[in-house]
Chains A and B, each alone.
Chain A
Amino acid sequence: MSGRQKKLLQQLGLWVLIVIISVYALFPFYYAIITSFKSGSAIFQVTYWPTDFSLANYWGVLAQGRFPRNIFNSIVVSFAVVVLSLLLAVTAAYALARVRFQGRGILLFTILSVSMFPQIAVLAGLFEMVRGLGLYNNLLSLILAYMIFTLPFTVWVLTTFMRDLPIELEEAAIVDGAKPHQIIFQVFMPLMWPALVTTGLLAFIAAWNEFLFALTFVSNDAQRTVPVAIALLSGATEQEIPWGPIMAASVIVTVPLVILVLIFQRRIVAGLTAGAVKG
């Protein structure tokens, strides 16, 4: 085999792999979409290509029942979680990245270990607290509880990002008489938009997707978030699972995420890998 043939064969192998990977990654979502457009008995006919374009399932999910309310709940919780965790994390990250003080290493290590906590380990204690504070069936309980996984991560990524900002900026600001909070909000903040967008996005996705706390701290249909609502969508009997509406609901809650991912894919990849492989 000549060198050129060999190269051609390598290229072919690469492209076969590329196609397999793409199809593997996208097929389940594609299949959910084509299923969601089928109505009636068409749904029980396995097809590989789109055949129906009925909006009945979407209409059923959005116009009847509480699903729109669930979407609203998820939006409220996710935005609140993003704002709160960014606010708490930016100031904390400045302290951790820019100031040398005793206990800094231990604090960083503790924050990192919190992010490795299994959620179930705090479930009983949190449940007790949520009930004690009268927050059961209240979205506030979720906003508070979600801090356990968004906050450590946000602090961590923002700290690594801030550590790399040039020291000259800070020195110049100090010479100009700037106080620490002015340094954060007037000098660093404008430079930190990329990191804020990344961490905010990841916190949003984490909050939007969370299930265990949402299942446990809310038992009232009107207060449920989207993942729990989808998990509990059921028919009259075990045999009558409403696959059409479930797929429509799944597509509705996933499409915004997929769009976000497509727009911000570079930032998301940077955020996912920050801290993990740095240094």
Chain B
Amino acid sequence: MVTATSSLPQAEIPAGRKKKTQLTREKIRAAWIFLTPMILVLLAVAAWPLIRTIWLGFTDARLSVPGSGQWIGFENYLFWLDYGDGEGEWIGLLADPTWWRAVWNTVYFTVIAVSIETLLGLLVALVLNAQFAGRGFVRAAILVPWAIPTIVSAKMWDWMLNDQFGILNDMFMTLGLISAPIAWTSSPDTAMAAVIMVDVWKTTPFMALLILAGMQMLPGDVYEAAKVDGIHPVKVFFKVTLPLIKPAIMVAVIFRMLDSLRIFDLIYVLTPNNAQTVTMSVYARQHLFDFDNFAYGSAASTLLFLIIAGITIVYIYAGRVNLSGDK
């Protein structure tokens, strides 16, 4: 009897129809009871705070002023400040050059860092996909940067990038790449490069492992056939491997992109107070807590949320990325 029903798990069986539906109903009720605690927690820590953040963006809330939080509409976003003498100026987030600077910094960082990580990740995945003794060791080794807390990796690199005592300047000078020590993290010219350097080191492993997982699901017979036909490995890579692992790369890229767009920790520790590396998250938090501008910071957070949501939707739609795992 068990096997008879198991082959048709969802189908209705006329004889036991009544019992089946009752069982199903009971099961669905149990399902909702099981789901309720999780849904309640997610409502409390995700949905409600998000709604409140969006709401606060339309108020004049300040942490230093108890009871503040009057509705002021779109004034945090864009507002014509009339001087009363016919003159005036646009103020608010959308008219704030520092905000647009932060948007630009974030996008710039994301595009450069994720591109490098994708290329390096692909290379590392290709190497790890080859058969060699000690493969397990290398795979474990590349997991180390991934596991190290971002704050710790920022501090480790901060020390390596130190202008006077850093090993990186020492290395580059020995190799003759630079003639004088560079103040990597404090100089406006190199601060972003330093951030990208650390981010690439820390997150390429994740990229590589996702791409590797995609590679390992490829059918081996395709490669056998290509080998028999004597097709050059480089051609095989571009004509066979790359198209087949494209879905895996797309998924890895979107995960990394979403992460980069909200980058905060690394910049907060590695290049604080550097206008060249203030990203949207850093900007929002500064206004929320450092500049006593809770409402304005909330508005910035809301915009960041909208930007990320927008990019995600476009990307998933354009790339037809199958995130659901359903076939």
List residues of chain A with CB within 8 A of the CB of B214. 277
In the complex, the answer to whether A276 meets B289 with C-beta atoms within 8 Å is no
B160 touches A125 (CB 8 A): no
A102 nearest in chain B by CB position: B28
Which B residue's beta carbon lies closest to that of A216? B289
B-contact bits for A265-279, CB 8 A (1 contact / 0 none)? 100110011011111
> Which of A59-67, A141-149, A190-198 is near enough to bind chain B?
A141-149
Instruction: Report which of B141, B213, B255 forms a contact with A22, defined as CB distance below 8 A.
Output: B141
If A120-B301, A124-B53 touch, whether A25 touches B142 (CB-CB below 8 Å) is yes
Q: Chain A at the B interface: mostly helix, strand, loop or mixed?
A: helix
A84 shortest CB reach to chain B, Å: 8
Does any Cβ of B come within 8 Å of A218's Cβ?
no
> In the bound complex, do residue A174 and residue B23 qualify as a contact, i.e. CB atoms below 8 Å apart?
yes
Q: Is A112 an interface residue (CB 8 A)?
A: yes
B225: Cβ under 8 A from any A Cβ: no
Q: A95-B32, A118-B304, A151-B38 are in contact. Are A26 and B147 (CB under 8 A)?
A: no
Contact A108 B210 (CB under 8 A): no
Q: Tell me, yes or no, whether B170 is within 8 Å of chain A by CB.
A: yes
Give the chain B neighbours of A231 by CB distance below 8 A. 151, 154-155, 268-269
Assess the A243–B298 pair: CB atoms within 8 A.
no
Q: Count residues of B near A (Cβ-Cβ below 8 Å).
A: 107
CB–CB A279/B213 < 8 A = no
A119 at the interface (CB under 8 A from B): yes
Contact of A279 among B30, B301, B324 (CB under 8 A): B324
Q: Mark B42-85, 1 if CB is under 8 A from A, else 0.
A: 10111011111100100000000000000000000000000000
CB-CB under 8 A for A250 and B152, given A144-B44, A269-B139, A273-B210: yes
User: Which size class do A's interface residues fall under?
Assistant: 35 or more
The answer to whether residues A125 and B31 also contact, given A25-B144, A168-B6, A265-B140 and a CB cut-off of 8 A, is no
A88-B41 contact given A246-B159, A273-B213, CB 8 Å threshold? yes
B167 near A128 with CB under 8 A, answer no
| Most chain A CB inside 10 Å of its own CB: which residue of B28, B50, B146, B149 | B149
Residue interface mask B137-171, A partner, CB < 8 A = 1: 11111111111111111111101101011110010
Given the known inter-chain contacts A230-B152, A253-B149, please indicate yes or no for A18 contacting B46, CB distance below 8 A: no
Checking B51, B166, B201, B298 against A24 with a beta-carbon cut-off of 8 angstroms, the contacting residue is: B201
Chain A hits for B56, CB < 8 A: 124-125, 128
Closest chain B residue to A208, Cβ basis: B149
Q: A124-B288, A124-B301, A276-B251 are in contact. Are A46 and B167 (CB under 8 A)?
A: yes
Type the 1/0 row for A1-17, where 1 means its CB is closer than 8 Å to any CB of B.
Answer: 00000000000001101
Complex: how many Å from CA A146 to CA B308? 20
B101 interfacial by beta-carbon distance below 8 Å: no
Q: Does A211 contact B (CB under 8 A)?
A: yes
On whether the beta carbons of B288 and A123 are closer than 8 Å, the reply is yes
Contact, CB under 8 Å: B144 / A269? no
Task: Flag whether A70 is at the interface (Cβ < 8 A).
Answer: no
Q: How far is the CA of A258 from the CA of B56 in the complex (A)?
A: 41
CB-based closest 6 A-B pairs: A125-B49, A125-B52, A95-B31, A118-B262, A273-B213, A121-B305
Q: A14-B132, A25-B142, A250-B156 are in contact. List 6 more A-B contacts (CB 8 A).
A: A28-B201, A32-B156, A116-B308, A147-B41, A216-B289, A227-B149
